[in-house]
Amino acid sequence: MHKVSISPVTRANAVGTATVYVEEGKVVEAESGASIFKGFEIIMAERDPWDAPYLTQRICGICSSAHALASCLALEAIAGAEPPPNGILLRNIIFGLDLLQNHIRHFYMLGLWDWASPPDRFPFKGGYTKGFRFSSKETEQLRQGYWQAADQSRLAHEALTLLGGKVPHQHGIVPGGATLFPEKHVREELRRRLQKIRVFVEKVYLPDALLLQSRYKDYLSLGVRKSGFLSSGCFPLSKGKGHHFPAGVLLDDGVEAVGLNGISESLEHSWFQGEGGDPWVEESVPDPNREGAYSWVKAPRYRETACEGGPLARRLLQGEGPRRSSTMDRIVARAREALKVARLLEVWLDELMPGKPARVSFKIPASGRGVGAVDAMRGPLSHWVTLKGGRISSYQIITPSAWNFSPRDGKGRPGPVEEALVGTPVEDVKEPIEVGRILRSFDPCYSCAAHVVDRTRGEAKLLQV
Amino acid sequence: MADVLNSTRENRQKFAGKPSLSPGIIWLGTNTCDGNIISTMNTFRPSLQEVLEDFDFYYSSMIMAPEGESASEKWRLPQVQKGAFILVVEGTVPTAYAGKTAVVGQVNGQNITALELVKELGTLARWVVAAGVCASFGGPYAAYPNPTGSVAVSKVLNRPVINVPGCPVNPRWVLETLYYLKEKGAPELDPLGRPRFLYKDTVHSRCEFLPLFEAGIFAQEIGQKGCTYLLGCKGPSTRADCPVRLWNDEKSAWNVGVNSICIGCTSPEFPDQVAPFFKHETDLYFKPKRINLDSLALGTAAFTLAGIGAHLAGKVLTGRVKLGSKKPVPTLSLVRKGFKKLKDSKK
C-alpha cells in the first residue's frame, strides 16, 4: 500500500492537505485535512455585535460577502428585524456577483490545470506532465479562456464594488439591508458589466465545462457519492419566505426540510479536546497533539450523515438533473448555476424600486441568540450568535468546507471528500493528478474550513498554553 | 511616484530591459484569508497576464499549477537560494504551539510551519514585502485574544520589511510597490515601514465629503449619503488613498462612497483599537490590550483626533453645528476626551 500525501494542496483558497492510501492502483482510504487554524470564533467574543458582519468577512478572501450575509441574518434573527425588499435584492446582487467571481475563477484559475496542460513557464511550470487529453487546439482555447476568466472575475468584483465600496471584504451588506441604493447611472454601469459576464458564461464558460465533460466522461463515475446533500437556501426571496434556490437536505429517503437541531459535530479526528455534540453547547480546546487527529476541521453531520454542499447539492434540491454526484457533475453544475445566477442578477436589477428604502434601522437587543443560515458559493454556511450584555458572548461558524472537507466522525464514517476519493484509480503514485481533480471539484476553501467553537472556559484554558 | 505603472506597455518594456532588476516572486500565504492575492488578481492595468509576464511568480499557492511537493520544492529553487527574489507574505505568522497551527506544506514528507518558512525565505530574499494588514501589523488574525500567538512578519525577521497594509491590500498598492522595487529599488518608508508615496495622506484629508465635514453636516445613520464621521468613520486617523484611488483598481467606488465608514484597515490599530467600528472615535471601548505599535503612529492618531475635536468644538461655539440632534454631536467634553487620550498615549 502506498501512502500519497499532497501538501500543500494548491489552487485553492489557502492551502490544505490530502492523504490517500493506494492499493493495486486504487485509492482505498483518504484523509482530507486543513493545516491552518485561526481561532476566529475566539476572536469574535466580547465584541460589539455590529462589528460581526464586517469582521467575520475576514475569515475568507474568496467568499467574504457570504459571511457578511450570514452574520447579518443572525443579528436580524435576534432582533426580529427584516430588511425591506430593496435591501434583500441588493444583498442578492452583491452576493450573486461574488458567486459569479468565485465560479468563474474556480473553473479556470483553480481547476483548469488538473485537466489541461499548463504553459511551460512560471507560475505554471513544474507540475504534472501526463494525463492531459485535450488536443493542442483545445488546450490553446482553454488557456485563452483562462485569461478571459481573469478579466471576467475581476469585472464581477468591479461591479460588486459599485454597491459594496470594495471587495474582498465589502461594506455594502449591513444589518437591516444594504447601505446604498444605486442611482440610475450606477444601475446602468452594473447592467453593462452584468451583460458582459453573462455573455462570457454563456459563450465561453459553460461550453468549456461541457467540452471538459466530453473529454473526461469517466469522471462521471469517479468521485462519486450516493447520499447526503445539504443546502441552507440561497438568495432569499424579496417577497415572502423562502429562497430562489431552496433550502433542504437530501438523504436516502428523499428531500426534507433542514432542522437546525439535526446538526451535530464530532471531534474524534480533529485537533481538539473532547467529543463534540450540539453546536450550541459544545466546548472545544485546540490540541495539536491529539492522537488519531489529522485536521483542524471538525466533522459536522446532519442526522449522523455526512453531507455535501455546493452548486450540485443546490441543483439536486431544485429537482434538476439526474440524482447523481460525481466529479464532472459538480463541475458542470457549477457552470450551469453561474449562468442561472447571471440571468437572475439582471432580473433583480430591474426589480429594484427607486424611492423605497434599502435598509431598515433597528436596535440589536442586549442579549439573545440567533442563527443566520445561508448557502455560500460552496454550500451551507451558518453563524450561531449569542449576545450578553450588549456584546457577543459566543460566536460559532459552520462553513461549507467544514461540511465538504470534514474528517471522519466518531463512528469512523468519512467526510464527503474522503468518501468521494475512495475507489479513484491512481495511475502513477508520483503524479497523483486524479486526486486533485476530485478534491477541487468540491471547490476547497481551506481558509474557511478550520474553526473552533468558542466557549469562555475553553478560551481560558487556551490562554494558559 | 504613484504612476510607476500607469502607462504599462512602454514602461513594461523599459523594465523588461533590466533583467538584473527583475527578481522572481514567492508569494507566501501564511495564516491568511487569501484576500490579498484575490485582490491583487483583480488588477486591471496592467492585467494579471501582464503582471505574470513581468514577474516570475516562482510560488503562489493560489495561481501556480504544481501541487504537493512539486509546489513546495519551489521554495528551494537555485534562484531562491541565491536571494534573487522578492518574498511577499500575506497573513500573520503564528508562534503559539511552536507554530504548529499553520502548516504551509511539506518538504521531504516533513511539515513546514509558516514560522519556519518565513524565517528561512525572509533571510534569503532580496526584499520582503508584507501584503495586507495581517502580515504588516497583525490585523484581524492577531486580534484579541490572539489564540494563535500571531505576529507581523517584521517581528520574526531581523531586517526591514516593506509593509503594504490594507484589508485587503488594494491591487495597485502592492503592485506599485513591486514595480517600484523592480525599477528603482527600495522606496522611502514611513516610521511604520509603509512606502511613503502610498500612505502619505489621511483618508479624511482627501475625502469627497470633507466639505460636508467642514460645514458640520453629518450622516445620521448608516445608509445615508454624506460624512459618516459621527457614525464611526476612522478616516481622520487612517492613512490611505482610497478616496482618490478608489477600488478595485478600475476607479469605481470606495467604502465611504457607498454610505459606509472607513474602519482604519491600513493602521496598526486595526481591528482592536478601532472597535467598535460603528462608534465615534472618542467612544471606542474595545481595548483589551495595547498592540505593540509605533508610539509615533498612536501619537499622530491621538493628535489628529484632538485637533478634530477642537475643530468641531469651534463649530459648536460659533453655532455652525446644532446641538440636540438625535446622534451625539461633539462637544467640549469630547475634546477633553481627545486630549486625555493624547495624554494617556504619551505616558
Quote the pLDDT of residue B13: 45
CB A417 within 8 A of CB A228: no
B209 and B160: one domain?
A: no
Domain that includes residue A385, residue range: 2-464
ipTM of the complex as predicted = 0.93
**Helix A85-105 vs helix A327-351: angle between axes, to the nearest 10 degrees?**
150
Residue matched to cell numbers 483545445: A138
Q: Is the pLDDT of residue A266 over 80?
A: yes
Nearest to B268 by CA among B241, B308, B295: B295
CA distance B344 to B347: 5
CB A151 within 8 Å of CB A45: no
| Alpha-carbon span A245 to A236, nearest angstrom | 8
- Do A438 and A373 meet the contact criterion of CB atoms below 8 Å apart? no
Cell, residue B282: 472618542
- The count of residues in chain A is 465
Give a yes or no: residue B198 inside a domain: no
What pLDDT, on the 0 to 100 scale, is given for residue B6? Answer: 43
Q: Domain tally for chain B?
A: 2
Note down the domain range covering B272.
204-346
Residue B261's CATH number: 4.10.480.10
The rounded mean pLDDT for chain A is 91
Q: In chain A, which residues have their Cβ closer than 8 Å to the Cβ of B261?
A: 171
- pLDDT band at residue A281 under the 50/70/90 scheme: low
Same domain, B94 and B50: yes
Strand partners, A187: none
What is the DSSP track for B133-186? HHHHH-GGGG-TT-TT-EE-GGGT-SS--EEE--SS--HHHHHHHHHHHHHH-S
Q: Tally DSSP H helices, then E strands, for chain B.
A: 12, 9
Q: Are residues B104 and B171 in the same domain?
A: yes
CA A270 – CA A312 distance, rounded (Å):
27
Tell me, yes or no, if B326 comes closer than 8 A to chain A by beta carbon. Answer: no
Split into its structural domains, chain A has a count of: 1
Nearest alpha-carbon partner for A358 in A86, A134, A69, A10: A86
CA of A411 to nearest chain B CA: how many angstroms apart? 26
With a cut of 70, say whether residue A451 has pLDDT above it: no
Whether residues A35 and B102 touch (CB distance < 8 A) is answered with: yes
> What is the mean predicted confidence (pLDDT) over A24-41?
89
H or E segment to which residue B85 belongs: strand B85-90
Segment A452-460 mean pLDDT = 31
Segment (H or E) for A264: strand A263-266
Judged against a pLDDT cut of 80, whether residue A275 lies above it is answered with no
What is the model's pLDDT at position B286? 64
Euclidean distance between the first and the last CA atom of chain B, given in angstroms as a whole number: 37
**A318 has pLDDT over 90:** yes
Judge whether B2 lies within some domain: no
Strand partners, A299: A266
Decide if B42 and A8 are in contact by the 8 Å CB cutoff. Answer: no
Cβ distance B67 to A6 less than 8 Å, yes or no, reads yes
How many whole angstroms separate alpha carbon A324 and alpha carbon A229? 11
Integer angstrom CA distances of residue A80 from A315, A361, A368:
30, 12, 11
Better pLDDT: B23 or A8: A8
Q: Could you tell me which residues come within 8 angstroms of residue B170 by beta carbon, excluding any fewer than 6 positions away?
A: A166, B39, B240, B242, B245, B247, B248, B249
Chain B nearest CA to A194, separation (Å): 15
What are the helix (H) ranges across B85-142?
114-124, 133-137
DSSP classification of residue B289: S
Give the phi and the psi of residue A77 in degrees, each rounded to 5.
-65, -40
First to last CA, chain A: 38
C-beta neighbour count of B110 within 10 angstroms: 10
* Residue B237 falls inside a structural domain: yes
Residue A362: strand, helix, or coil: coil
Cα–Cα distance, B105 to A10 (Å, whole number): 9
Q: How far is CA B195 from CA A17, A454, B136, in A?
A: 36, 38, 12
- Domain ends where: B152, B184, B216? B184
pTM over 0.95: no
- B316 and B180 fall within a common domain: no
Distances in whole angstroms, Cα of residue B298 to Cα of each of A226, B93, B270, B290, B294 = 58, 23, 12, 11, 7
Of residues B36, B69, B260, nearest to A165 (C-beta):
B260
Q: How close B11 gets to chain A, by Cα (Å)? A: 21
Assigned domain for B197 exists: no
B229 and B112 in a common domain: no
Chain B environment of A8 (Cβ under 8 Å): 61, 67-68, 71-72, 104-106
Q: Count other Cβ atoms within 10 Å, centred on residue B192.
A: 20
| Inter-chain CB proximity A61 and B74 less than 8 Å | no
User: Residue-wise pLDDT tens for chain B (347 aa)?
Assistant: 444 444 444 444 444 444 444 579 999 999 999 999 999 999 998 999 999 999 999 999 999 999 999 999 999 999 999 999 999 999 999 999 899 989 999 999 999 999 999 999 999 999 999 999 999 999 999 999 998 999 999 999 999 999 999 999 999 999 999 999 998 999 999 999 999 999 999 999 999 999 999 999 999 999 999 999 999 999 999 999 999 999 987 778 999 999 999 999 999 999 999 999 999 877 776 654 433 333 333 434 444 554 555 555 444 444 344 433 344 333 334 433 443 444 444 43
Query: To 10 degrees, the CA torsion angle through B189, B192, B198, B204?
Result: -140
Does residue B255 sit within a domain? yes
Please judge whether B58 and A288 are an interchain contact, meaning their C-beta atoms are less than 8 angstroms apart: no
What residues in B contact A151, CB-CB < 8 Å?
Answer: 47
Chain B nearest CA to A226, separation (Å):
28
Assigned domain for B190 exists: no
Residue A217: pLDDT over 50: yes
Which of B46, B6, B4, B48 has its CA nearest to residue B27? B48
B39, B145, B276 member nearest A168 (Cβ) = B39
Asked whether residue B84 falls in the same domain as residue B113, the answer is yes
DSSP string over A205-218: IHHHHHHHHHH-GG
Q: Beta strand pairing status for B85-90 and B127-131?
A: parallel
**Measured between beta carbons, which residues in chain A are less than 8 angstroms from residue B72?**
7-8
Q: Which residues pair with B182 in a beta bridge?
A: none
Average pLDDT over residues A380-399: 92
Of B16, B62, B69, B4, nearest to B38 by C-alpha is B62
CB-nearest partner of A154 from B44, B139, B222: B44
Burial zone of B322 (CB within 10 Å; 0-12 exposed, 13-18 middle, 19+ buried): exposed
Task: Give the one of B32, B252, B276 whose C-beta lies nearest to A14's C-beta.
Answer: B32
Judgement on whether residues B177 and B139 belong to the same structural domain of the protein: yes
Please report, rounded to a whole number, the percentage of residues in chain A having pLDDT higher than 90.
77
**Residues B174 and B273 both lie in one domain:** no
Enumerate the residues of chain A whose CB falls inside 8 A of the CB of residue B104: 8, 15, 35-36
Taking an 8 Å cut-off on Cβ atoms, the answer to whether A8 and B104 are in contact is yes
CATH of the domain at B142: 3.40.50.700
* Contact between chains at B41 and A150 (C-beta distance less than 8 A): yes
Sheet holding A391-398, edge to edge: A368-376, A379-388, A391-398
A195/chain B closest Cα distance in angstroms = 17
Comparing alpha-carbon positions, the chain B residue that sits nearest to A102 is: B38
Residue B192 lies in a domain: no
Average pLDDT over residues A358-378: 96
What is the distance in angstroms between the Cα of B318 and the nearest Cα belonging to chain A?
32
Alpha carbons A111 and A130: distance in angstroms, whole number: 16
Segment A107-133 mean pLDDT = 96
B4 within a domain of the structure (yes/no): no
Q: Which residue has the cell 440589536?
A: A364
Q: What angle is formed at CA B127 by the lines to CA B123 and CA B128, rounded to 5 degrees?
A: 75
B119/B160 same-domain check: yes
Q: How far is A9 from chain B (nearest CA, A)?
A: 6
Q: Which of A112, A66, A100, A45 is nearest to A436 (CA)?
A: A112
C-alpha cell of residue B36: 490579498
- Residue A365's φ and ψ, nearest 5 degrees, are -60, 155
- Whether residue B161 is found in the same domain as residue B210: no
- Residue A271 identity: W
φ, ψ of residue B61 to 5 degrees: the values are -60, -30
Residues of A in contact with B111 (CB under 8 A): 7, 35
Distances (CA, A) of A93 to A59, A164, A203, A223: 21, 10, 22, 32
Q: Distances in Å between the alpha carbon of B107 and those of A7, A58, B68, B81, B117?
A: 9, 29, 9, 15, 11
**For A399-423, what is each residue's pLDDT tens digit?**
999 999 988 888 888 999 999 999 9
Q: Give per-residue pLDDT as tens, A419-437.
A: 999 999 999 999 999 999 9
| B138 Cβ under 8 Å from any chain A Cβ | no
Nearest to A436 among B67, B242, B255 (CB): B67
Across the A:B interface, residue pairs with CB atoms under 8 Å apart total: 283
CATH number, domain of A77, equals 1.10.645.10
